[in-house]
Structure formats: C-alpha cells, structure tokens
Amino acid sequence: MNALRNAYIELHIAVLLFGFTAILGDLIQLPALALVWWRVLFTTLSLLPLAQIRYIRNELPRKTLLAYAGVGALVGLHWIAFYGAIKLSNASIALVCMATTSFFTAIVEPLFMRQRLKGYELSLGALIVPGMVLIVDGVRIPVLSGLVAGLAAAFLAALFATLNKKIVGRTDEKSVTFVEMGSAWMFLSVAGLVVVASGNGKDFAFWPPTLRDWFYLLVLALVCTTLAYVLALRALRHLSAFTSNLAINLEPVYGIALAWLILKENKDLDSNFYWGGAIILLMIFVHPLLRRYFEAGKIAQS
C-alpha cells in the first residue's frame, strides 16, 4: 500500500515538472530539433555518474539494451513532435493535445501487454474526441499543423510508456534512463546531420544558445527531465501505463495555468478551447471512479 501511495506521489511530482517543460520550450529560442538535442545531451551527462555503467556494459542482455535504445529513439521523436507543436502553435494547444494520450494508450497497451481491451477505457478515450473537435474548431488554420504535431506527440507518448512498462523489469531506473536518453541523443545527432546535409541547417543549430537559453536548458534537462523521468519510470513499477498516462494528462492543468501566468496565452484562446479542454479533463477525473467500480465488480464476481 505504501509503495502504491509513493508511486502516485512521485508520478504527480513528475507531472508537475512535465507541465513546466512546455513553458521552457516556448521560452528557449531554438528550433524543436536543436532544443531536444541539447536537452537529451545535458540529461545524459547528468546521469553518467548515477548510472551503473559496468552493469550496463557487462551484464545487461544485448536484447534488453537494444529495446531500451529503441524506446529512447521514440522518446526523442516524441519530444520533437511536442516542441514542434509549441513552436507551430502555442504551449496550451500542445499540452491539451497530450491529454489524448489516454485514448492512444487504451488501444496500444493491450496490444503490447497481451491484455483484453477494456471497454470503459476505450469509451473514455473516445469521449475525448468531442473535446478535440471543439479545440480544432476554435484555432486558426495556421495553428492546425501544431495541433497535428501535438497529437503525434501524444501517440508516441502512449507507445513509449507502454513499451517501458513491458521491458522495465528490475533494472535500475537511473541506468534505464541513461541508456534511453543516450540513445535518444545518438538518434537525434544522426537526424541532425541528415537535416544539415539536406541543406536545412537552420532547423538544427549546433552553435551554443544564448546565456538565457543555457539556464533554461539546464533547468529543462536536470529538473524537468532527469528528475521527472526517473520518478515517472519508477512509478511505472506499481502503476499501469494507462493509469500513468491519465495522471500525466494533468499536465495541461499545470502547464496551461503556467502559460496564462508566464506567457499570457489566455489572450489567444477562445471559449471553444476552454470547453474542449474541460471535456478532456472531465474524462481524466472520471476514470478513477470507473476503474474502482469495474474492479470492485470483478472482485465481487470472483
């Protein structure tokens, strides 16, 4: 019971930190690919003294190591899509898109975990769609590309959270995070070289950011990534990926509130955005009640 309670506490601390990443993503004056490249570089370096390098090199099975590396590449893609959504639209729209992660997880998790689809989770996920329709109706056409990027980020989040749940095992969380972040950095480095070679070097800046960006990147990497990611990964030992992502769906609450206070984004959003966001958040809060009801029914039947 204490382990489960601690897992919820750690997860919600991680969610609060995740919510702040959108604000930092807006404040940092770098393209999405370059921003994520710096983020994972600093995060990997910060984990180097904490990870069990000898265990990773000598004892971790190669198949497992490759699985973690693959998840790391998905994390990198997720962050590119997420920060791309912020750059193309704004932090609030990107954060609300992340709430659809529960819908994608309700489909993805049973497929990978070899479980039966849960009707009530699919229903809750489907009920998020009207909320997204209202949000789409309330945004300008140029912002739609940001919304599409946000939905892609949500799908990738569902995918890598589910895969982490499947392969995390008993490996030390900091070592897992080190492997995944290091793999993400290598993947993004190759992607950046491809972008530069294609003649689009402005989309992937190797030069150091400004002093202000250095500070924001360090906060983003050390606090909102290293600490938050380890806490979220550790919580997955006791929580399902769907439950984890439902808690992570509170990220819009924290992030949008911060966007109003710091970025003044409430001036750019109309009533449809708020109605759509309210529907999505309602589904998040209804889920624990339905889960308790259906699980209590199963216990009674047994």
Instruction: Determine the average pLDDT of the residues in 90-104.
Output: 81
pLDDT of residue 298: 59
Tell me what the mean pLDDT of segment 186-200 comes to: 83
Mean pLDDT calculated for residue range 124-146: 73
Could you give the CA distance from residue 135 to residue 233 in angstroms, rounded to a whole number?
31
Reported as a pLDDT band with limits 50, 70 and 90, residue 238 is confident
Query: Cα–Cα distance between 243 and 131 in angstroms, integer?
Result: 20
pLDDT interval class at 296 (50, 70, 90): low
Find the mean pLDDT for residues 41-61: 85
Q: What is the pLDDT of residue 51?
A: 81
pLDDT at 288: 64
What pLDDT does residue 125 have?
73
Residue 61: predicted pLDDT = 83
How much is the mean pLDDT over the chain? 81
Give the model's confidence band at 242: pLDDT under 50 very low, under 70 low, under 90 confident, else very high.
low
Tell me how many domains the chain contains.
Answer: 1
Percent of the residues in the chain that have a pLDDT greater than 90, as a whole number: 21
Q: Is the pTM of this model over 0.75?
A: yes
Q: Which residues of 122-156 are buried (b: 16+ CB within 10 A; e: fewer)?
A: eebbeebeebbebbbebbeeebeebbbbbbbbbbb
pLDDT at 76: 94
Query: What six digits make up the tokens of 34?
Result: 């370059």
Q: Which burial class, exposed, middle or buried, applies to 260 when counting CB atoms under 10 A from its CB (0-12, 13-18, 19+)?
A: middle
pLDDT of residue 10: 86
**Domain span holding position 12:** 2-301
Instruction: Assess whether pLDDT exceeds 80 at residue 137.
Output: no
Percent with pLDDT over 70 in the chain: 83
For the ranges 67-81, 202-216, 227-241, the one whose mean pLDDT is highest = 67-81
